């Protein structure tokens, strides 16, 4: 049971990391968009 709970927590952590990557990519996109709009 304890092992399963630990596995579930690690899976959740994995999905949280994936979400963080997407958010980081979107923030990077936001910065690129700001620079692009400023340049044109």
C-alpha distances out from residue 34 to 5, 16, 23, Å? 43, 27, 16
Q: Which of 2, 24, 4 is nearest to 12 (CA)?
A: 4
The token pair at 15 is: 């999905």
The binding track of 1-40 with respect to other proteins, each residue x by CB under 8 A or -, is -----xxx-xxxxxx-xxx-xx--xx-xxx-xxx-xx-xx
Smallest separation (angstroms) from other proteins to the CB of 24: 10
Smallest separation (angstroms) from other proteins to the CB of 17: 6
Binding site for other proteins (CB under 8 A): 6-8, 10-15, 17-19, 21-22, 25-26, 28-30, 32-34, 36-37, 39-40
């Amino acid at each position: 049971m304890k092992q399963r709970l630990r596995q579930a927590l690690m899976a959740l952590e994995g999905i949280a990391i994936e979400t963080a990557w997407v958010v980081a990519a979107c923030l990077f996109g936001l910065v690129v968009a700001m620079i692009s709009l400023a340049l044109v």
